Amino acid sequence: MVGRYVLSLLCVVSAANAVWPEFRFASYYGDHMVLQKAPERAVLWGYASDRSKVFVILAGQQEIKKQAAYVQNGTWRVTLDPVNAGGPYNVTAVQQGPAHAQVTLTDVLFGDVWLCGGQSNMVFLLSKVFNASEELALAPKFSHVRIFMAALELSKKELIDLPKVEMPWSLPSTELLGNFSAVCWLFGRYLYETLGYPVGLVESCWGGTPVEAWSSPRALHKCSLEEQEDNSYLSVSPNEMEPSPKRDNSVLWNAMIHPLLNMTIQGAIWYQGEDNTQYHLDKYGCSFPAMIDDWRASFHQGSGGQTAADFPFGFVQLSTHFKGAVKDGFPELRWHQTAGYGFSPNPRMQNTFMAVALDLPDEGSPWGSIHPRDKQDVAHRLTLGARAVAYREKGVSFQGPFPVKVLLSQDSINIFYTQAISVSLSITIFEICCTKVQEPCSSDSKWLPAPIMQWGRSSVQVSAAMCEEVVSGLRYAWRDWPCDFKACPVYSADQELPAPPFTTNRWP
């Protein structure tokens, strides 16, 4: 008797489920979250029964607002009226009709939402950085910086929601932050210190992954990369050598980025490229900017125009891997990260900003020298870029010295920089290209070390005397590991920002 009673009850429950899908928010909305503040409007969505009416109530300390949601094909969606930075608010979604239901998100703040993407150096945990215990202990002081992490998932087709959440929206505790991205957190924390209003951080990244995995088929098509090649044995990092479907075209775009498109965001930061030093290296100057373009267009469309069509995109130029490495793709990859300009933003990559990191090597990193532990300087440099580019703060310098003019002659070369510089003679990493005839230089040309002879406020003169043939080009810091920690020859005058690497041809 008892058994039969249970059985019939189960039938009733499952029948009810079939008719009325569970009323809820999509996976990445939750208590303690940060929604994008005004002037943008936050988009909220979830699941509902098609035959119901849904509205959303935003309840703050002073005001209560109610807005109707749009219901279609099992989902509801609402674009909130603009809300200024602050909070907390409770956001309640109500399903009216025969299947009345409601769900409330509590302690919701409005601020700027930043997405953090990339591979292992973005994944790199706060518990592994230098001074980790001090950084972790600071966490509770920053209760207006909120964190969220997507789970590692891949998919052959585009998903509309995250299959799984690794860390739901949370206040930063020492324990949770130990498992959160150091660069993402430190960027958010430094940004909060200058903005003074809430910052939401969405971490969606995976170690050992090439840019192709994070790119949509549209973006790959732009660079003729739609053919899937066998990339399963990339070996940039010894512990990432297992064959992995996570490297396949678009699989992470499909499962870890596409689901987020309907959320309004302020911008994105990105730390990736190590994998591509061994895979489609020569295409990265196309594939990386193409991915940025495509993310921008897609987030803009997914949010119904709320996320800017040219949202700010910050990235870290590759740091270092092997001290003695001669040819391992790092210099080329760094150059491709800037679409061949050497700096960012540039005409091809507008509204981007770059943190140079090649002067932050860490030979003794217990997680491999490809994972330097100083993420504070990386995040600090990114934050400077965000302030200048994303927030248009005047007077913030965020780019290291870059040549505006290079005058090559047969016995010396004069380099004129964009800004005042500080120079040290500790190491010779200018190199001249010495060719038999007047011809363009390549990586295979003869490159000779060119010592600095003298320097001025914003110029450097290097010797070309060692070239007995034709002086055809100049490059700087063109190697995986150009200098010891913060000991490259050229910095900004205040010694804060390293000169990025460059290469230049006399006979292009």
Ligand X SMILES: *[C@@H]1O[C@H](CO)[C@@H](O)[C@H](O)[C@H]1NC(C)=O
SS3 state at 159: coil
Q: Which is nearer to ligand X, 179 or 442 (CB)?
A: 179
Q: How far is CA 438 from CA 344, 412, 433, 434, 470, in A?
A: 30, 17, 11, 9, 6
Residue 131 Ramachandran class (φ > 0 left, ψ -120 to 50 alpha, else beta): left
SS3 state at 476: strand
Nearest 5°: the CA angle 81, 87, 92 is: 60
* Cα gap 206→203, rounded to integer Å: 10
CB-based contact 191:199 (threshold 8 Å): yes
Nearest to 474 by CA among 400, 409, 401, 399: 409
Nearest 5°: the CA angle 429, 376, 329 is: 40
Nearest distance from residue 258's CB to ligand X, in Å? 9
Which residues between 291 and 310 bind ligand X (CB under 6 A)?
Answer: 301-302
Which residues between 74 and 103 bind ligand X (CB under 6 A)?
Answer: 74-75, 77, 88-90
Nearest distance from residue 227's CB to ligand X, in Å? 27
Q: Using the rule CB under 6 A, is 424 a contact of ligand X?
A: no
**Segment interacting with ligand X (CB under 6 A) among 127-135, 400-408, 453-461, 471-479:** 127-135
Nearest distance from residue 493's CB to ligand X, in Å? 21
Q: For residue 26, how many other CB atoms are within 10 A of its CB? A: 21
Q: Which is nearer to ligand X, 216 or 276 (CB)?
A: 216
Q: Which is nearer to ligand X, 75 or 459 (CB)?
A: 75
Q: Which is nearer to ligand X, 159 or 453 (CB)?
A: 159
Nearest distance from residue 104's CB to ligand X, in Å? 7
Q: Which is nearer to ligand X, 244 or 262 (CB)?
A: 262
Q: Using the rule CB under 6 A, is 60 a contact of ligand X?
A: yes
Which residues between 160 and 199 bind ligand X (CB under 6 A)?
Answer: 160, 175, 178-179
Q: For residue 422, how many other CB atoms are within 10 A of its CB? A: 14
Q: Which of 73, 242, 468, 494 binds ligand X (CB under 6 A)?
A: 73
Per-residue binder mask for ligand X (CB under 6 A), 450-469, x = binder: --------------------
Per-residue binder mask for ligand X (CB under 6 A), 12-41, x = binder: ------------------------------
Q: Which of 96, 131, 239, 438 binds ligand X (CB under 6 A)?
A: 131
- The string over 426-438, giving b where at least 16 C-beta atoms fall within 10 Å of a residue's C-beta and e elsewhere, is ebebbbbbbbeee
Residue nearest to ligand X (CB): 178
| Longest Cα separation, the chain | 101
Q: Which of 59, 171, 465, 493 binds ligand X (CB under 6 A)?
A: 59
Nearest distance from residue 328's CB to ligand X, in Å? 25
The DSSP 8-state label assigned to residue 125 in this structure reads B
Q: Which of 61, 238, 242, 468 binds ligand X (CB under 6 A)?
A: 61
- The string over 201-235, giving b where at least 16 C-beta atoms fall within 10 Å of a residue's C-beta and e elsewhere, is bbbbbbbbbbbbbbbbeebbebbebeeeeebeebe
Q: Which amino acid is at 150?
A: A
Q: How many chain residues interact with ligand X (CB under 6 A)? A: 25
**Segment interacting with ligand X (CB under 6 A) among 68-76, 221-229, 361-369, 392-400:** 68-76
In the chain, the N- to C-terminal Cα span, in Å, equals 89
Q: Which is nearer to ligand X, 105 or 268 (CB)?
A: 105
Nearest 5°: the CA angle 294, 397, 110 is: 55
Nearest to 498 by CA among 350, 367, 374, 323: 374
Per-residue binder mask for ligand X (CB under 6 A), 242-261, x = binder: -------------------x
Q: Using the rule CB under 6 A, is 376 a contact of ligand X?
A: yes
Q: Which is nearer to ligand X, 43 or 252 (CB)?
A: 43
Q: Which of 212, 362, 374, 431 binds ligand X (CB under 6 A)?
A: 374
Which residues between 103 and 122 bind ligand X (CB under 6 A)?
Answer: 106
Nearest distance from residue 303's CB to ligand X, in Å? 8
Q: How far is CA 224 from CA 287, 290, 298, 363, 419, in A?
A: 9, 11, 20, 37, 39
**Residues of this chain that bind ligand X (CB under 6 A):** 45, 59-61, 73-75, 77, 88-90, 106, 127, 130-131, 160, 175, 178-179, 261-262, 301-302, 374, 376
